Amino acid sequence: MLLNYEITVEGRVQGVGYRYFVRSKAQELHLAGYVRNSGGGRVIIMAEGEKDELDTLVDYLWIGPPLARVRNVEISKAPYTGSYLNFSIKV
């Protein structure tokens, strides 16, 4: 089942390679979308793909790269849009 997840990650997730970690895992899982930094030290992820792969990505988000310390992961699920061709880092 194809879905769209909008995910907000809070904690020490900026300046520790978190966006690059997310892009790598999303590409491994064949997901499309993007990751970007947001205000307040948060990271926002828009990801589309199969539900199982999206759920696996969420599991990875809790782990993050070695220097990250994830405090919270919020997920908003929506219907698949097909808006993304690949997974990228937005500035």
Over the stretch 24-82, which tens digit does the pLDDT of each residue have? 999 999 999 999 999 999 999 999 999 999 999 999 999 999 999 999 999 999 999 99
CATH code, 15: 3.30.70.100
Residue 88 within a domain: no
Residue 42 β-bridge partners:
38
d(CA 70, CA 33): 21
Catalytic site residues? Answer: 19, 37
What is the span of the domain harbouring residue 56?
2-81
> What's the residue count for the chain?
91
Residue 20 within a domain: yes
Residue 59 within a domain: yes
Residue 7 β-bridge partners:
45, 75
pTM, whole model, 2 decimals? 0.96
Residue 89 within a domain: no
Residue 91 within a domain: no
Which position has the token pair 């220097």?
Answer: 67
DSSP helix, strand, coil percent of the chain (3-state; round to 5): 30, 45, 25
Residue 26 within a domain: yes
Residue 57 within a domain: yes
Per-residue confidence (pLDDT) for residue 91, from 0 to 100 = 87
Residue 49 within a domain: yes
